[in-house]
Structure 1
Amino acid sequence: MDAGRSYGDPCGVARSLDVVGERWALLVVRELLLGPKRFADLRAGLGSVSANVLSQRLRELEGHGIVERRELGPPLRVHVYELTPWGRELEPVLLHFGRWGSRAPRPEGGRLGIDSMMLSIMAAHSAGGGPPDDQVYEIRVDDETFTAETVDGRLRLRRANADGPAATATTDAATLGAIISGEATVAAAVSDNALVLTGSPEAVQHLTALLTAAG
C-alpha cells in the first residue's frame, strides 16, 4: 500500500479499507463472488467503469492477495480473474453490506445486474432458510446459469450448471428484477411465459420461495 494512500491507522477497519477501500474495489469483489470472470465480463457487470481504472483495481487487488489471474486451458486460451480464499472471506461482509445499503435511496435509472440479483437472493437467506440440504436448483437468467444449494446451513449460489436439479427456473434479467423488487409476481410471470418453472411441485415451491425472498 502506497503510504500516501494509507490511513496509517492500525485499526482493523482502517487496514481493511487500505486494501479494498478504493473506488470500484469492493464492486470488483462483488462481481467475482459467484465465480471467475474475464476482463470484458467484469467491465460489463460494472457498467461505467473505464478499462484503465478496472485494470488498476485488478492489479491492486492481485497485489493484496484478494484476486488472482489464471489462464483457462485449451481451446479457450483466455485469462480469467477469481477470488483467492482470503478474497472469498469477504462474501458475508458484502452480503451484510448489501442488506444494510438496501435502505439507502436508490439511484435514478440504476440497473440491477444479474450477479447483484443473485447476491440479493443469497443475502435474503444468509441466516438460513435455503433449500433442503439434499436438493440442488438451477436458475437460468438470459445466457447465465447458476446453481443454488444449501451448504453448511446457508444458501450458496455459484455460476455453474446444476447436476440433476430438483427444479429449474428460466427467465430474463428484466423479469427476475421485477420479481425481486416486488413489481411483478411469480404467478404473473409464469402466466406471461416470462418465467418457466420445471420440477416437482414441492421443489418448484422451494425455488419460488428463493426468488421472492429478496424483495
Structure 2
Amino acid sequence: MSRLRRMPRQQQPARPARRRSYDQFCATARALDSVGDRWTLLIVRELLAGPRRYTDLHADLPGVSTDVLASRLKDMEQGGLAVRRRLPPPAAAAVYELTERGRGLLPVLAALDRWGAPALGERRPTDAVRAHWFALPLLRALDRLTHGGVVEVRLAEGEFHIRTGAEAGGGDAYGYGPADRPDACLVLDAEVVLELGRGGCTLAEAVEEGRAKVLGEGPLADELRGGGHPGA
C-alpha cells in the first residue's frame, strides 16, 4: 500500500454573513430589509433623542437581550443608519448615534405612533414606560407651532425636551431629560399627551381646564398657551 500524505484542505476565506432580504425590487421591501427586524425601529426611536451608550440603550429597551441589541446595532452600522464613536475625555465612552439617513426615519416612527395610538388603551401592569416615549405624540400635537425653540416637558414619569420650528431642523427632534435653557416648560401627564396626539383636545383646552400648565415667557410660551395653532 502506498503511503500517501493527506494534503490539508485549502482554507476558504470566510464569507461575510448575508443579511436576510426579501429580494424584491420594491422600495418598501428594501426598507424592511434594513429596519424590518424586531427591535430595530425601537432602537431608532431611542437614538432619535441623541447619542446613547450601549448600556443606556439596553436599560431603556426592556426585554431585549444583549446579543440581539449588539446584533441590531451592528446591522444598523453596516446599513448606514447609525455610527459608533468615542466621546472625548473626560467622558471617554463609546456612543451610538443616527446618521442623516437614520434620522430620516422620524416621519416613519411618527406615522407608526399615530397608527398604533388606538391600540394603547389602558396601561397594562406589565407595560414598561419611559418619559421620552411620549415625545412622538407630543411632536405631532405641536407640529403647527410657528415659533422655534426648546420646550421642556415634565411628566410624572420623568422629563424630556422637544425642539420646534427651526430648532428641530437638521438635528435631534427631542432629547432626554431637562433642557439646559428651555424657551418654555410644559407640565402635564401622559394621558393628556396621548389625548393631544390623538387630536382629542387642543393644548389650549388642556391649559384652560387645568390639565396642562405652561411655564415661561416669550413668543413660544405664549403660543403654547394659545394651543400651538397660529391665530388660535
Provide TM-score, normalisation by structure 1.
0.74
Residue of structure 2 equivalent to 1:99: 114
Post-superposition CA distance 1:180-200 (Å, at most 9, x none): 135xx656567xxxxx74213
Post-superposition CA distance 1:151-205 (Å, at most 9, x none): 2998x733276575432236xxxx63132135xx656567xxxxx7421386445
Partner amino acid, structure 2, of 1:137 = V
Structure 2 residue runs of 5 or longer lacking an equivalent are 1-15, 196-205
Confirm whether residue 25 of structure 1 aligns to residue 46 of structure 2: no
Query: Do the aligned partners of 2:152 and 2:159 also contact (CA within 8 Å) in 1?
Result: no
Query: Do the aligned partners of 2:147 and 2:219 also contact (CA within 8 Å) in 1?
Result: no
Percent of residue pairs identical: 34
Confirm whether residue 138 of structure 1 aligns to residue 152 of structure 2: yes
Residue correspondence of structure 1 range 62-211 to structure 2 within 5 A:
62-104=77-119, 106=121, 109=124, 110-125=127-142, 128-133=143-148, 135-140=149-154, 144-151=159-166, 157-159=173-175, 164-169=181-186, 176-182=189-195, 188=210, 197-200=214-217, 203-207=220-224, 209=227
Confirm whether residue 55 of structure 1 aligns to residue 70 of structure 2: yes
Partner amino acid, structure 2, of 1:158 = Y
How large is the RMSD of aligned CA atoms in angstroms? 3.3
CA–CA separation in structure 2 for the residues paired with 1:99 and 1:198: 27
Q: 1:24 to 1:163 in 2, by over 3 A?
A: closer
CA–CA separation in structure 2 for the residues paired with 1:177 and 1:139: 10
What is the number of residues matched between the two proteins?
Answer: 196
Displacement of 1:60 in angstroms is 0.8
Structure 1 residue runs of 5 or longer lacking an equivalent are 191-195, 211-215
Provide TM-score, normalisation by structure 2.
0.69
Q: 1:48 to 1:15 in 2, by over 3 A?
A: same
Displacement of 1:144 in angstroms is 4.5
Displacement of 1:143 in angstroms is 6.2
Q: 1:84 to 1:203 in 2, by over 3 A?
A: closer
CA–CA separation in structure 2 for the residues paired with 1:136 and 1:152: 7
Post-superposition CA distance 1:22-75 (Å, at most 9, x none): 100111111111211111221222211111111111011111111111111100
User: Which structure has greater helix proportion?
Assistant: 1
Query: Do the aligned partners of 1:168 and 1:197 also contact (CA within 8 Å) in 2?
Result: yes
Return the index of the structure with the highest Cα Rg.
2
